[in-house]
Structure 1
Amino acid sequence: MLLFVIVMLVLEVSSSFPDRDDVLDALDCLVHYMDVHRRELNVDAVFGLRMAEGQLWQLLSNESLIMHLPVSTAHRLRDMAYTIQNIATDAVPYLMNLNRSYFEQFLYVISSPWIKSIYPRKLQLTDNDNFAVQSDADENQYVDFTEEQSDLCMAGLMGTLHKNSERCFISDKCRAFMVSEKASGYYLTHQLLFYSLGKKLGCEVVMRNRLAVGGFDIKEMERTLCGRVYRQMEVLYSTGEISVVDLFLESAAVCAPLGFYQVMKLDWIAFALKWQDDCGCYKDDHDTPQEQEMQHEMTVRRILVDRTMSDGCSAHMSGVAAGYLASSLYWLLVLSRGQLKGTPEAATTPLDVVNTIRIKLKKCVKEINKYSGLHEVLSRVDMGSKYSFLLLLLVFVVGLFVVAYYFRRRLLKRGQIWVHRLFLQV
């Protein structure tokens, strides 16, 4: 009975982590909200939706994944991809009226889904990447690199700086920002977005030549910067505050499509799902003094410009969340099918194995709970933290020792019989 209770407790811990259906429901709910409120979207919301659409099409094109999904799930994925496509198309006239010059400058990033081949890659993590939340003054070595300057760098790549501008233009200041390894906060996510945009535009050769002057390499820069993103997300997650959710989502949304699946930890996905509003959107709410102070420390620089929608929803955060949830769904399915094996950069880590086991355990819990009244007691206890999991694991181990000590004589006797039989066979 003791072992049964312990096992049930461990299973209950695992059930607190999200699975494929949880993320799929969250994304479906968010897309539905943005579909209903498509007239209120801005450029960054549609940009996030286009990123999500690209991830969905990438997923649907992977036959080895889709063939193992229920037909209804595959249909939901396809329906969401088409819905996002319609939202982005129908939102164009409203985006144009909202800010015509800004719309024309960033038309390229919202005109089509962000579809690219995704290859699993391992992060480059070093102790030097351990950093705390920094203030505005110390956040960057390029303090004068503002959001407006970031927009100019993106426009230079897209060829929308001037009427006759050509694509793939990278100024000296933009190059200096590209290779900075000390950026953090939104500066860091802007760097990675710059690389992604450049490759999507076909500017990879120009970028490679510009980086080669200082001995830099695009792939290594992406690996290094996403390593810093991972450390940054550790800090953001540890705060547990809503004030960091926007940057948290954006951090993962720019690295996951590059193949760095390690930013999609199950407890981090659970943290992101926690802040989704009942109506489906995400609200950038900083009502308390503590949250306002935290938001000031992390800075309010965004990829683009935010807009408050109906119900107090944030267009920017909701758009980024769409990209984040689609990436989460993609990597949950890839990890669950073990498709990382055989790739040059993606040896499965112990964490991946644990995460896969947790997903399978959650399915077992759903079945066990149908026949056990113990779930009603356990559901009242918050077992979601990793510390609770470790504590329960310790209790489980101690329980095994207690059982072994209680039956020690019987076990010893049984062992002697086995040894005796072994010698007789020899």
Structure 2
Amino acid sequence: MNSVLIIITVLSCVSANERKVNHIISTLERAVLFFEVNYDRFNLDGVTGYRVLQALLEDTLKRWTLSGPEADSPYTKVEDLVKKVGFTVEMAIKELKLHQPAYFNAFEPILQVNFWTFRPEWTQTDRKLVYPKWRVKECFEEEDSDICMFQILGTWKDYRVNCLDTAKCTKLMTTLYCSDYSLSHQLIYFILAEIKNCTNIVGSQHPQSRNSISTQRLKKIFCTNMMEINLHIEKDGFPVYQRDLFLENIMLCGMIGYSDFYKTRWLEAILSWQYPSGCYVETGRSMHSAEMKQNAFTEHKRVKREDVLLDDNCSCHKTAVAVGALGSYLRFYGISQNVIEP
């Protein structure tokens, strides 16, 4: 009897996961169509989100574990999405070269088709690593994190060398108790350092300790606190102005293997936020409206600098991190057999 119950449970789990996969694919199809229509109006951050999506989908196809007649259709649909996203990203890159040449040149490596790679292993966050408190102010400005990433990528001004290590960036990117976008950008910094194989940085020493903190440890600290932030956002009812950060946290921590970010209830919320046109929207009249900034953000919390609003308040950045998060969910369900709720 126990064996029968186990089989039934496994089959039920597989069926539920296939339904999730189909819902994710349908949502991504609408988001990709939106990108195809508006690619020439997307900024670099928005295009990067779709390039990450392409990489996630390609990795999903390589490791696909769903089987049976019903699995053929979603596999074929994912193949079609990869082709559409890849083609449209290349078209968008041509526009970026024309309209954002300096910013494009600085971040060009992350738009390369083979830049993003993913590990097959899964891990989870550790609540013992939750910060006892968070800094009230952002730890650094977005321009500061951009410079640190340029140094990793080898695109910083006259220093055209990969993995440039500076004391300022080491201090900024290993500072503890950061929150919100400072925290997520700290994680991005070390993701890029690992991808670029910056061995001089991934084992960097924390400025406040004599002991070296490994990259894996730092990433676990960062993702644990990004999880805590997401749980707070959920508890507050997913305020619209915090959904961008919520989605970014899932995309980043999910793509580096933190499976506890793939909560079914979060997936259902993300699917429900999509606008009929396929995008994810902001509220208010304009991202640059002083009234919206005052109402939507508490003191010291910044608005995403690199965002563009399209028709119907469609947000390039929010749509980009949404497709990244959904692509990460799809990879999780597509390559993991008998997935159980994290």
Q: CA offsets per residue over residues 341-389 of structure 1, 9 Å max, x none?
A: xxxxxxxxxxx74x39xxxxxxxxxxxxxxxxxxxxxxxxxxxxxxxxx
1:118 alignment counterpart: 120
2:130–2:221: 8 Å Cα contact kept in structure 1?
no
- Matches of 2:319 and 2:130, distance apart in 1: 32
1:158 alignment counterpart: 153
1:57–1:115: 8 Å Cα contact kept in structure 2?
no
Structure 1 gap segments, 5+ residues each = 1-14, 339-351, 357-426
1:281 alignment counterpart: 279
1:118–1:257: 8 Å Cα contact kept in structure 2?
no
3-state SS in 2 of match to 1:106: helix
1:51 alignment counterpart: 52
1:189 alignment counterpart: 184
- Matches of 1:158 and 1:78, distance apart in 2: 30
1:222 alignment counterpart: 219
1:168 alignment counterpart: 163
1:198 alignment counterpart: 193
Q: Which piece of structure 1 moves more, 284-293 or 213-222?
A: 284-293
3-state SS in 2 of match to 1:89: helix
2:84 alignment counterpart: 83
1:249 alignment counterpart: 247
When normalised by structure 2's length, the TM-score is 0.85
Aligned pair in 2 of structure 1 residues 193, 77: CA closer, same or farther (>3 Å)?
Answer: same
What is the letter of the counterpart of residue 127 of structure 2? Answer: L
Q: CA offsets per residue over residues 169-208 of structure 1, 9 Å max, x none?
A: 12111111221221100011101111111111221x1113
Question: 1:126, CA displacement in angstroms?
Answer: 2.2
- Matches of 1:127 and 1:198, distance apart in 2: 22
3-state SS in 1 of match to 2:186: helix
1:22 alignment counterpart: 23
Q: CA offsets per residue over residues 141-183 of structure 1, 9 Å max, x none?
A: x3xx211101000000011111442110121111112212211
1:267 aligns with 2:262: no
3-state SS in 2 of match to 1:126: helix
1:369 alignment counterpart: none
- Counterpart mapping for 1:304-315 below 5 A: 305-315=306-316
- Matches of 2:60 and 2:303, distance apart in 1: 31
- Counterpart mapping for 1:303-342 below 5 A: 305-335=306-336, 337-338=337-338
1:125–1:227: 8 Å Cα contact kept in structure 2?
yes
Question: 1:67, CA displacement in angstroms?
Answer: 6.5
Question: 1:298, CA displacement in angstroms?
Answer: 7.7
- When the two chains are superposed, the root-mean-square deviation of aligned CA atoms in Å is 2.7
- Matches of 1:298 and 1:328, distance apart in 2: 32
Q: CA offsets per residue over residues 208-233 of structure 1, 9 Å max, x none?
A: 34237642111111111100011000
2:105 alignment counterpart: 104
What is the letter of the counterpart of residue 279 of structure 2? Answer: C
- Matches of 1:290 and 1:315, distance apart in 2: 17
When normalised by structure 1's length, the TM-score is 0.69
Aligned pair in 2 of structure 1 residues 86, 49: CA closer, same or farther (>3 Å)?
Answer: same
- Matches of 1:238 and 1:231, distance apart in 2: 11
1:243–1:291: 8 Å Cα contact kept in structure 2?
no
2:10 alignment counterpart: none
Give identity over the alignment, percent: 22
Please say which structure displays the higher CA radius of gyration.
1
Aligned length: 317
Aligned pair in 2 of structure 1 residues 232, 67: CA closer, same or farther (>3 Å)?
Answer: same
1:404 alignment counterpart: none
Structure 2 gap segments, 5+ residues each = 1-15
1:295 alignment counterpart: 297
3-state SS in 2 of match to 1:115: coil
1:207 alignment counterpart: 201
Aligned pair in 2 of structure 1 residues 48, 67: CA closer, same or farther (>3 Å)?
Answer: farther
- Matches of 2:203 and 2:330, distance apart in 1: 35
Aligned pair in 2 of structure 1 residues 291, 165: CA closer, same or farther (>3 Å)?
Answer: closer
Question: 1:20, CA displacement in angstroms?
Answer: 1.9
- Matches of 1:68 and 1:222, distance apart in 2: 39
